[in-house]
Structure 1
Amino acid sequence: MENSDRVKRLALWGIPLAFFVMGLKLVAWWVTGSVALLSDGLESSVNVVAAIVAFAAITYAAKPADKTHPFGHHKAEYLSAVLEGVLIVVAALLIVAEALPAVLAPAPMEAPALGLAINFLAGVINAAWAYTLIRAGKRYRSPALSADGQHILSDVVTSVGVLVGLVLAIATGYAVLDPLLAVLVALNILYQGWKVIAHSVDGLMDHAVEPEEAEAIQAAIAAGGTGSLGVHDLKTRRAGAATFVDFHLVVPARMPVGEAHDICDRLEDAIRSVQPGAQIAIHVEPETEKAHGIRVKIEEVHNEQD
């Protein structure tokens, strides 16, 4: 099964799971009347919308390149992540709208133990799913899965805070702690939403690969470019699961085109050995051209004679 199929399957499973967790949290609110538990449930309703959007974006991003999108549709995942960040912010505002009136007129909770137990179960399910999505997002380089996982992880943190705070409210008898806690939850959600939006917008701006990946690419070029005089103006960018590598290859002015082409083939194989599926553009130029940008020195190969 290809990586894109695995990513789509994970995104699809996220939809019914998000509905189930939201249902658990709303039941917890229904049996207790807790505003903090309602705020947790409202955030989970955003998870449902986010899961649907993520699946749609991942499905679209997996489409092959065409005439109108010759570089593919990979950035659709970043759009999904941006929308998810916006939805997180909307959820925070809804929570504040519910919590502020309750601060002025706090009410005691009903059946708190049962509600907390139900909410705890929902938190455990979310924690396991967030770990799965974040791990898969890094492995398959899927911004949509990573954003969804980070969002759900923030939901887990929220749930833990709600549970701890409500236990304190029950133990102390201060019912006002419930809505105050909901406001704190909303502030945390706003912060998480900002992080998701900022990371996704950065991806839309053609961010370079991570430093360790750049070093691996440069090492592959240095080892695979034997016969050339060097590489300069090396650029990389990441678009969803796709990696783009672009550079100028300097060769002797009298080198035949066939030999230069062979060097390019070796370089492409070397780069794809450290960046599978990378899309590579190499501009071959004679040694008389002026070099600029990031340069890579080609390793010299010496043949030992017996």
Structure 2
Amino acid sequence: MPAAVQTQNPTAPQQEKRRAALSSVLAAAGVTALKLITGLITGSLGMLSEAAHSGLDLAAAGITLFSVHVSDKPADEDHNFGHGKIENLSAFVEIFLMGASCFWIVFEAVKRLIHPIDIRHSIWPFLVLLVSIAVDYGRSRHLFRVAKESGSQALEADAVHFSTDIWSSVAVLLGLAAAWIGERYDILWLHRADPVAALLVSVIILQVSYRLARRTLDALMDATPAETRHELMQAIAHVPDVLSVDQVRVRQAGPEYFVDLTLALDRNLTFQRAEQVTRGARAAVQRILPGADIDINTVPTATESESVFDRVKAVAARRNLGIHDLSVREISGRLHIELHLEVPEVMRLRAAHDLVTSLETEMRREEPRIDSILTHIESEPTTIEHTDEVARDSLLERGLRRAAQDFPQILDIHEVLITRTGDHLQINCHCTLPDDLPMAEVHRIITEVESIMKRQHPEVTRVLIHPEPATDNER
């Protein structure tokens, strides 16, 4: 969606953010005007410092309103990660303004401590400060709520800033009260309570500025909080089939999080299983950082529990080659490998032999105990054969059932199909076997039945038998 359209039709969270920022600007403007007028009338430095503080609140609220508008723009060709960083920059400007006001307040306070100035006492400063405390309390709670719902750092910084205004207003209130008591009862040291209160306000501003500065610098430098990183690594490590979490990188741009992960996975996992694992890792991150943009890189990794079968298959998988009928024998501590390798039927012998040679060399590097490798090269069909179904051949079907009778484990023969491709005759069928029969025994029985049929019926070039568990045929 284009930025202009999104600005005209903002979503509900964006509207709430902008309303909160706008209400903060209006409240800051009203409180600043009241404090400034009261400070000028009474001559209270504490009140004037509060007016300066509220003026900074107004400037900060204005900057926040601007940054909230800009940060909601979607990513574009020039800003691939969106515009959220503008919120961090607005906080940086706010920190600069707060620091400048502190220097002015401290300078004036020290000057008045050396050369005291009489304050014109009135009920108005007390009323204005009480109103300011009430307004700051209301808007800080509102900003905290919206910041939590929207994940806006700019609104959260404003909320923290305005909540400290309450304490600075209380400090000035106590300073004015102490100065009034000092004048009424002629207690000289209390006459300096007003500039002391101003110094307290500057201390509060500096404390807030320091916290905001740390948060802003961390955000601008893409720092990842240690607790967040630890929590992410713990959550991802519990995803099944994740061997290790090699890298976690998190960057924040406004309310948006961008997470880069590097995960070590068993190199023998299938593509489908690897995809399931990455989906699980993505879900684990989303539970901690909802809505995060997540990029996951997986690294195929050898495990200590790998068998020689796994290592040989891994070498073939790296070449995207299919192997089957893999067998391993150990003689005098050395391994002898036999396997069937599938190559395209149009590949020439020279190319196939070179491929096998390089494959066997890589397997020996992977497993030094290998002494010999015998590779049976098989052509992998790449063309569709035109096959005709042969009418039921009772002689062949009876021969098949007689061969099956020699094996009591075979409970049933069904779905017999006889086809012819050119001069090649093929028999396909399904057989029922006990559920708990080991696969090694299943393979032996099927292979023997196929061999019997080929010996007794030489015209049959291929027999394929699909085994099924007994309970599957009971349904």
Residues 85-164 of structure 1 correspond to what in structure 2 (within 5 A)? 85-164=95-174
2:277 aligned with 1:263: yes
CA distance in 1, matches of 2:150, 2:109: 39
Contact 1:24 1:119 in 2 (8 A): no
Contact 2:110 2:195 in 1 (8 A): yes
CA distance in 1, matches of 2:75, 2:203: 41
Residues 133-282 of structure 1 correspond to what in structure 2 (within 5 A)? 133-173=143-183, 174-209=190-225, 211=227, 213-214=228-229, 216-218=231-233, 220-223=235-238, 225-282=239-296
How far apart are residue 89 of structure 1 and its match?
0.9
> For residues 273 and 195 of structure 1, do their structure 2 counterparts lie closer, same or farther at Cα, with a shift above 3 Å needed?
closer
Contact 2:235 2:284 in 1 (8 A): yes
Which is worse superposed, 230-239 or 188-197? Answer: 230-239
SS in 1 for 2:58: helix
Using the size of structure 2 for normalisation, the TM-score is 0.55
| 1:287 matched residue in structure 2 | 301
Counterpart residue type for residue 103 of structure 1:
L
| 1:296 matched residue in structure 2 | none
> For residues 178 and 250 of structure 1, do their structure 2 counterparts lie closer, same or farther at Cα, with a shift above 3 Å needed?
closer
Contact 1:119 1:159 in 2 (8 A): yes
| 2:319 matched residue in structure 1 | none
How far apart are residue 219 of structure 1 and its match?
5.0
CA distance in 1, matches of 2:43, 2:53: 16
Contact 2:88 2:154 in 1 (8 A): yes
> For residues 210 and 4 of structure 1, do their structure 2 counterparts lie closer, same or farther at Cα, with a shift above 3 Å needed?
farther
2:38 aligned with 1:28: yes
How far apart are residue 229 of structure 1 and its match?
4.1
How far apart are residue 164 of structure 1 and its match?
0.7
Contact 2:178 2:191 in 1 (8 A): no
How far apart are residue 10 of structure 1 and its match?
1.2
Contact 1:217 1:275 in 2 (8 A): no
CA distance in 2, matches of 1:58, 1:234: 28
SS in 1 for 2:191: coil
SS in 2 for 1:46: helix
Structure 1's unaligned 5+ residue stretches are: 290-306
Identity among equivalent positions (%) equals 29
Contact 1:28 1:119 in 2 (8 A): no
| 1:79 matched residue in structure 2 | 89
Counterpart residue type for residue 35 of structure 2:
K
Counterpart residue type for residue 14 of structure 2:
S
CA distance in 1, matches of 2:141, 2:74: 29
SS in 1 for 2:222: coil
Higher normalized strand content (fraction of residues): 2
* Larger RCO (alpha carbons 8 Å, 6+ apart): 1
Contact 1:250 1:286 in 2 (8 A): yes
The 4+ residue runs of structure 1 with deviation greater than 6 A are none
Q: What count of residue pairs does the alignment treat as equivalent? A: 288
Structure 2's unaligned 5+ residue stretches are: 1-10, 184-189, 304-475
Contact 1:96 1:186 in 2 (8 A): yes
